[in-house]
Amino acid sequence: MKLRKKRRWELPESQVTSRSDWEKRPRSGLYTRRRMLAASGAGLALSSGCGLSVEGLELGQVDTADTPYSGWFPVERNEDYQVPERSLTNPISATTYNNYYEFSTNKTAVSQLVGDFEIEPWTIEVSGLCNNGGTFGVEDLFTLFDMEERIYRFRCVEAWAMTVPWSGFPLHRLLEYVDPTADATHVSFVSANDPVVMPGVDQRPSYPWPYHEGLRMDEAMNELTLMVGGLFGEPIPRQNGAPLRLIVPWKYGYKSIKSIVRIELTASQPETFWSTLVPDEYPFESNVDPSVPHPRWSQATERLIPGSEEVETLLYNGYEPEVGHLY
């Protein structure tokens, strides 16, 4: 039996711009496209352009239809996870300024390119050194593990940052469920990889696709490490990693792998996409640390998107009490 855990939406604190902005955001989902194609009777309709402009980008008309998994959101907020010193990022910025290289290296183009990316049905295979692995449907995971909303800082290695409410469940619940064997020391993650709908893959054939990442077992088991299926109280948009991604808030954003299809428990440190590509710049550990500059720029401060406000970067992105003991 499927549990539908639909809970009442509560508007967050007053500085949250943004429910109305959020509702004005572009949706380029499969269902939107299908309905527009049906309505036009031809294969031509894409964005109809209502004139909303973000960072020079002309955005398509808003669609208000349900997206896949919408019955699962919003979920209850866990007030233990807040970022009192920062305002929430405007949802339009958080969903139109994306790093998702499978689609494009142009941040503001990603949200316009994801419309053909099918995210339902979706399964995640959990395998390797565990006693109870298997292949799980996303909705099975939403049913098995209580979901909650948490506001986290999110810091990209490129020195920009945002503050957003993610909805999901701690990864340790899934790991406990699959029951790691004693020799499992690491966890590896693999993203979806479909060049037919992801133009960025063939544009960079030398990149080590599929996108893959990894954590030490103690990092994966930390309470902060979240499997995320929702953003701003709704299913996470494709451009942000639908239907399920990882969020590791004390590490640079590239550790937070999107659209996960496989998780494997291993007995050694797994390779990662960015460490393979540029080992000197993107080490496996990748903790946010203002005292360790990137080889090509400082990591002492970060820019809050959108705009140019700079704030000081915090050790472990401000999560030292929760994770400092790991290092």
Contact letters (x/-) for ligand MTE, 161-200, by CB under 6 A? ------------------------------x---------
Among 232, 250, 254, 319, binds ligand MTE (CB under 6 A): 254
Contact call for residue 117 and ligand MTE (CB under 6 A):
no
**Pick 99 or 313: Cβ nearer ligand MTE:** 99
DSSP 19-42: HHHHHTS----HHHHHHHHHHHTS
**Pick 133 or 241: Cβ nearer ligand MTE:** 241
Distance CA 193, CA 210 (A): 5
Tell me how many helices (H) and strands (E) the chain has.
10, 14
Q: Which stretch binds ligand MTE (CB under 6 A): 12-20, 171-179, 215-223, 251-259?
A: 251-259
Contact call for residue 257 and ligand MTE (CB under 6 A):
yes
Residues facing residue 65 across a β-bridge: none
Distance CA 84, CA 102 (A): 34
**Pick 95 or 222: Cβ nearer ligand MTE:** 95
**Pick 32 or 98: Cβ nearer ligand MTE:** 98
Distance CA 120, CA 83 (A): 32
**Pick 81 or 103: Cβ nearer ligand MTE:** 103
Q: Which stretch binds ligand MTE (CB under 6 A): 47-55, 117-125, 214-222, 256-264?
A: 256-264
Size of the site for ligand MTE (CB under 6 A): 16
Q: Which of 49, 104, 48, 143 is nearest to 238 (CA)?
A: 104
Q: Which stretch binds ligand MTE (CB under 6 A): 14-22, 73-81, 93-101, 121-129?
A: 93-101
Distance CA 318, CA 194 (A): 36
Contact letters (x/-) for ligand MTE, 18-37, by CB under 6 A? --------------------
- Min. distance of Cβ 59 from ligand MTE in angstroms? 16
The three-state secondary structure class of 50 is coil
Q: Which of 286, 287, 283 is nearest to 320 (CA)?
A: 287
Contact call for residue 145 and ligand MTE (CB under 6 A):
no
- Min. distance of Cβ 179 from ligand MTE in angstroms? 27
**Pick 184 or 226: Cβ nearer ligand MTE:** 226
Q: Which of 311, 162, 303, 137 is nearest to 232 (CA)?
A: 162
**Pick 36 or 212: Cβ nearer ligand MTE:** 212
Q: Which of 22, 232, 36, 191 is nearest to 115 (CA)?
A: 36
Contacts of 73 by beta carbon, 8 Å cutoff, 6+ apart: 6, 167, 229, 230, 233, 234, 235
H/E stretch holding 201 reads helix 199-203
Distance CA 257, CA 260 (A): 7
Contact call for residue 264 and ligand MTE (CB under 6 A):
no
Distance CA 139, CA 155 (A): 29
- Nearest residue to ligand MTE, scored by beta-carbon proximity: 253
**Pick 98 or 112: Cβ nearer ligand MTE:** 98
- Min. distance of Cβ 98 from ligand MTE in angstroms? 3
Binding site for ligand MTE (CB under 6 A): 98-102, 156, 191, 211, 240-241, 253-254, 256-259
